């Protein structure tokens, strides 16, 4: 893992940098997706998809914590709804859509 020695925006723009977002959405019940039925959506903003590891904390099931997992590409957009000096008060909206155009 690379240590950040300067602001994230500088690191992001550096040559050979690769950044994407990973999301684990824990649902109350199973839904059917293009990836099959699931109660946990594991999505990435990387168009190639990504193999990574599951979280090692709750709400991830103790049986699957830290396991290798494939994250599927899905078009995502995020924006800050409310920001303040305290990180715990911030609100973030994440929108995912299957509409391609």
Rounded Cα distance between 77 and 44, Å, is 11
Q: What angle do CA 19, 24, 26 make, to 5 degrees?
A: 170
**How would you write the pLDDT of the chain (101 residues) with one tens digit per residue?**
456 566 666 766 676 667 788 889 999 999 988 888 999 989 988 888 999 999 999 999 999 999 999 999 888 877 767 666 666 666 777 877 666 55
The angle formed by the CA atoms of residues 87, 90 and 93, to the nearest 5 degrees, is 135
69 touches 54 (CB < 8 A): yes
**Contact, 54 vs 66, CB < 8 A?**
yes
Q: How confident is the model at residue 1, as a pLDDT? A: 47
For Cα atoms 96, 92, 45, give the angle at the middle one, nearest 5 degrees.
40
Report pLDDT for 17. Answer: 64
Which DSSP symbol is given to 42?
E
Q: Dig out the tokens for 49 from the structure.
A: 């998809």
Q: Residue 34: name the closest of 76, 73, 60 by CA.
A: 73
Each domain of the chain, given as residue ranges in start order, spans 20-96
């Amino acid at each position: 893992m690379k240590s950040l020695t300067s602001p994230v925006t500088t690191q992001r723009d550096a040559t050979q940098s690769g950044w994407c977002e990973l999301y684990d959405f824990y649902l109350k019940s199973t839904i059917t997706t293009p990836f099959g039925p699931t109660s946990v959506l594991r999505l990435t903003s990387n168009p190639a998809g990504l193999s990574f590891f599951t979280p090692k904390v709750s709400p991830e099931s103790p049986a699957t914590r830290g396991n290798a997992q494939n994250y599927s590409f899905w078009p995502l957009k995020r924006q800050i709804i409310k920001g303040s000096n305290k990180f715990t008060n911030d609100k973030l909206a994440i929108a995912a859509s299957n509409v391609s155009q």
